Amino acid sequence: MTLPMAKMTVKNQLTLPKAVVEALGNPSHFRVQVHKDALILWPARLVTARDHAARLATDEATLRAAKAWKQAEKARLVGEDGMDGEGGQGK
What whole-number percentage of the chain has pLDDT above 90? 44
Phi, psi values for residue 34, rounded to 5°: -105, 125
Whether residues 53 and 74 fall in one domain: yes
Q: Coil, helix or strand for 55?
A: helix
Residue type, 82: G
Range of the domain at 28: 13-44
Q: Are residues 54 and 74 in the same domain?
A: yes
31-71 confidence digits (pLDDT tens): 999 999 999 999 988 777 777 777 777 788 888 888 899 99
Whether 37 and 60 map to the same domain: the answer is: no
Residues 77 and 54 in one domain: yes
Could you give the number of structural domains in the chain? 2
Task: Please check the confidence at residue 90 and state whether its pLDDT lies above 60.
Answer: no
Angle at 22 between CA 19 and CA 24, to 5 degrees: 115
Lowest-confidence segment of 6-15, 65-74, 77-86 by average pLDDT: 77-86
Strands 14-15 and 7-8: antiparallel
- Cβ-contact 49, 66 below 8 angstroms: yes
